[in-house]
Amino acid sequence: MSDKIKVTISDEEYALEIKRCYLPVKITQPCPECGREVVRDLGEDYLSYPSVGVAEDLWMYCRGCSHEWELFIKLGLTVDVLEGV
Ligand SMILES: [Zn+2]
């Protein structure tokens, strides 16, 4: 890659302004109460007005025992400059 190309991504909060933000991301964790595997699929269960670079709270729900708990995630950005495409 050319060393003249520079990509700078701010590490400050960046609001996406997307009411229903579907992402190709799945978060899987065993339920803390019953151990059943719980999957939160952000491709189906969207984030509402998320921001990049800061903690976002995410609720997990176990269909096995109805336990609910909160996780925190942080969205990030990556940018790859493609050459010869
Ligand atoms: Zn459970």
In angstroms, the CA 30 to CA 1 distance is 42
pLDDT tens column, 13-32: 999 999 999 999 999 999 99
- Ligand 1: centre distance to CA 28 (Å): 13
- Ligand 1: centre distance to CA 72 (Å): 19
pLDDT tens, residue order, the chain (85 aa): 567 889 999 989 999 999 999 999 999 999 999 999 999 999 999 999 999 999 999 999 999 999 999 999 999 999 999 988 8
In the numeric block, which tokens belong to residue 74? Answer: 């942080």
- Ligand 1: centre distance to CA 37 (Å): 8
- Ligand 1: centre distance to CA 24 (Å): 24
Question: Where exactly are the structural domains of the chain?
Answer: 16-74
- Ligand 1: centre distance to CA 46 (Å): 22
